[in-house]
Amino acid sequence: MSYIDILGYIAGILSTVSMIPQTIKSWRTKSTGDLSLIRYAMYSLGLILWTIYGFLIQSWPITIMSGVGSAFALSVLVMKVKYK
């Protein structure tokens, strides 16, 4: 594994972990009123596109971290729609 891959994994882990507190809070409180639907829709789509891009160029740090991040973002998006 190269230093560039390590840098990619660290960046991906930090970006992905940053989604966990909001995901947990929304799940526990069943409240998403203050969250922007458009922001989470755009963020989710962006992460899905990053996942596809990473896969196509065979960059596993991008693919894995964007895939996990999109799962968190999509879960918040689903809660946003469900708990309106």
- Residue 19 sits in a domain whose CATH number is 1.20.1280.290
8's enclosing H/E stretch is helix 3-17
Quote the CA–CA distance of 72 and 56 in Å, as a whole number: 22
Structurally, how many domains does the chain consist of?
A: 1
Confidence of residue 20 (pLDDT cuts 50, 70, 90): very high
How far CA 61 is from CA of 11, 43, 51, in Å, comes to 9, 18, 10
Contacts of 68 (CB under 8 A, 6+ apart): 12, 16
The pTM of this model reads 0.84
Cβ atoms of 61 and 54 within 8 Å: the answer is yes
Query: In which domain, by residue range, is 77 found?
Result: 3-82
Query: What confidence tens digit (pLDDT) does each residue in 21-65 have?
Result: 999 999 999 999 899 999 999 999 999 999 999 999 999 889 999
